[in-house]
Amino acid sequence: MTYSADNEKRPAPEREDDILRAAIDVLRVRLPPSWNLDADGPVDRRIDSLLTLRAPDGAELSLVVEAKRLFNTRDVPYALEQLNDFAADLGDRPTASLLIARYLAPSTRERIAGAGAGYVDLTGNVLLRAERPALWVSDRGADRDPWRGPGRPRGSLNGPPAARVVRALLDFAPPLGVPELAAKSGASTGATYRVVEFLEQEGLIERVPRGPITSVRWRTLLERWSRDYGFAKSNVVETFIEPRGLDALLARLATATDLEYVITGSLAAARLEPYAPARLAMVYVRDLQAAASTLELRPASSGANVALASSEYDVVFERATRSDGLRFAAPSQIAVDLLTGPGRSPSEGEALTTWTERNERVWRQ
């Protein structure tokens, strides 16, 4: 039985034994009809089950299983270490590690797959790979927990409060206590704690128990945030033409003293890490129509060379820098906007992210 996000009224299985049995059923229905799957039950304290997968020619694969109600991304290395330790005792017997949970978040599935292991959750997310016997089983279930209700820990980095906390973690070097992080980010204390808890579960930060954050996986955090925040996805964006080119736009911005704006994207990145001549100016403004009028831009649905964004994410204006009379967004904001931007922007974002890693002392506070 597969539990789907479209059927959230189905009772959530709580016991690990029930989760294990349901996951075995999820896997069985996705196997080729001529393959058999048998459960041997608990055989060692290091694992929850040992499954035997039998191919039509009689070849067998042992699936070493750890089943939990919930796997956080940070739990994956420890769980796989236990399974690998047990598998080593099986000698030359073909084995594969399999993590099972009620629901596995996308980042957790990526961590498991990146370690060469397999997974099954009850919404139908499945990955099982083996060379001997040759097998590849993959299926897509839910990308959100169908049993996560109001008041539960956050499951994404959506929204302005999360953006504030993430930007502060990117812009300020640790150690950072949670109250200090809340003050620097401008997010509420409650929102800050919820984001920190989520990032701990995702393995993106390290924190002393009840103490300060001691380490931030900067690049991975930025990439994780880019799944939930995007220049076009998270803001109201309108496109325009500056017929005289981007130099003329910059000249007007430099003299528009009453206009609140920050430049992001390729134009801003070129100050830090030149990639290629910018073709599109990406600019955050407070008032789209007033900015378009001040800058004398022409609306355009195609062939545009200017994209103005109006945002409820006030953090985009914070920690901006001034250069040559122009205001530029912080490197962390520029990077996420490029990673989620159009055309060649993601490639430019990767180049800028590499630059930020090499030059952390230059820009990070």
The domains of the chain, with CATH numbers, are 16-139 (3.40.1350), 160-228 (1.10.10.10), 236-363 (3.30.460)
Distance CA 51, CA 349 (A): 44
Query: What pLDDT was estimated at residue 8?
Result: 47
Under a CB-based contact definition with an 8 Å cutoff, are residues 353 and 219 in contact?
Answer: yes
pLDDT along the chain (365 residues), means of 10: 52 81 91 87 78 91 89 85 88 90 89 92 92 90 78 72 94 92 92 90 86 90 91 92 93 92 93 83 93 92 90 92 93 93 86 83 77
Task: Give the number of C-alpha atoms closer than 13 A to the C-alpha of residue 143, restricted to the C-beta side.
Answer: 7
Query: What pLDDT was estimated at residue 6?
Result: 47
Query: What pLDDT was estimated at residue 288?
Result: 92
pTM of the model: 0.68
Query: What pLDDT was estimated at residue 364?
Result: 80
Distance CA 102, CA 120 (A): 8
Query: What pLDDT was estimated at residue 7?
Result: 44
Query: What pLDDT was estimated at residue 171?
Result: 94
Under a CB-based contact definition with an 8 Å cutoff, are residues 269 and 275 in contact?
Answer: yes
Name, in order, each residue with C-beta under 8 angstroms of 303's C-beta and a sequence gap of 6 or more: 241
Distance CA 301, CA 37 (A): 56
